[in-house]
Amino acid sequence: MESIKDRLLFAIPKKGRLFETCNELLAGADFQFFRSNRLDVCLVQNHPIALVFLPASDIPRFVGEGNVDIGITGQDRIEESQMWPHVNEVLKLGFGKCKLQVQVPEHGTIQSVEDLAGKRVATSFSNIGGGYFREVDRRVGEERGMLVETKIEYVGGSVEAACALGLAEGIVDLVESGETMRAAGLHPIATVIPTEAVLITSKKRIAEGPKASFAPLIRLIISRLAGVVASRKFVLLAYNIPREKLVEASLVTPGQRSPTVSSLEETGWVAVNVMVERAKVAQVMDQLQEIGAVDLLVTKLENCRI
């Protein structure tokens, strides 16, 4: 394989909940690459970039303290690795959204974090969980007039089974849909932090040192990925409406800055093109139809710059 020495290093999660979506994101941004089986490094064919596939939990440290210039990981992984002082979050990517929650058996006697204080908590996020329960212990200890210390048990996987198997009275773990937790008989009693996938860069290397020349490439990556993220959030809505109703319709579809309005050959009518949030488009179309809009058409976006 060609040397990666003179290329920008871009870390991508190698497996797990972020992996597939990251590949789709890179393809949408036209970063062309082929990854051979069992290889964790591959070269982007149309840019001087080397993709490095790493566990998401390791990416913050490789970016913050190693030689990796930019990467995709979860906010929870940055927090757990204590790398916020060393990395910049430059773009929220709009996927991988979930919550790091405190969960306990649904029908047990523990129904609050105060009840859990001083007991055993299993988690694979020992830094976040430990910090959270130190504050809970301090607060509960002051109320009870005694020293309270929750024991954090590190578990690398299958955290949701810890209560049923007698390892802990509660857990701290990532929850997306909650289906796995409900199947294990657990329910949430507190949210520690919300999290999603983000693009991060090193705080130290791009502005200075031998890779300073890659700063324009970093900006290009951010711009392209932001375009793909926006295209997943928005659709292009086109409709025709009487000019006298345009002001009212513009309140429903203001667009990013303002709608694009064109006159039609039919007197008194205009054509409007505007970006609308994908999640709200059905409701917006209903409102426009009530106002008097006709010929409403929705176009999905592959990419954009906004």
Q: Residue 205 above 70 pLDDT?
A: no
The pLDDT value given to residue 29: 93
Range(s) within the chain of domains with CATH label 3.40.190.10: 8-96+197-205, 98-194
**Which of helix, strand or coil describes residue 201?**
strand
Question: Could you give the CA distance from residue 306 to residue 231 in angstroms, rounded to a whole number?
Answer: 9
Could you tell me which CATH class the domain 8-96+197-205 is placed in? Answer: alpha beta
| Residues in CB range of 214: below 8 A, 6 or more apart | 8, 48, 69, 206
Q: Three-class SS string for 144-213?
A: HCCCCCCEEEECCCCHHHCCCCCCCCEEEEEECCCHHHHHCCEEEEEEEEEECEEEEEECCCCCCCCCHH
The pLDDT value given to residue 192: 96
Cα atoms found within 13 Å of the Cα of residue 74, Cβ hemisphere only: 24
Arch. (CATH architecture) of 234-300: 2-Layer Sandwich (3.30)
Range(s) within the chain of domains with CATH label 3.30.70.120: 234-300
The fraction of the chain above a pLDDT of 90, given in percent, is 78
pLDDT bucket at 61, cuts 50 / 70 / 90? very high
Residue 157 · residue 57 · CB < 8 Å: no
The pLDDT value given to residue 179: 87
> Would you identify the CATH topology of the domain 98-194?
D-Maltodextrin-Binding Protein; domain 2 (3.40.190)
Taking all residues of the chain, what is their mean pLDDT, rounded to a whole number? Answer: 92
Strand 151-154 relative to strand 120-123, pairing: parallel
Q: Residue 255 above 80 pLDDT?
A: yes
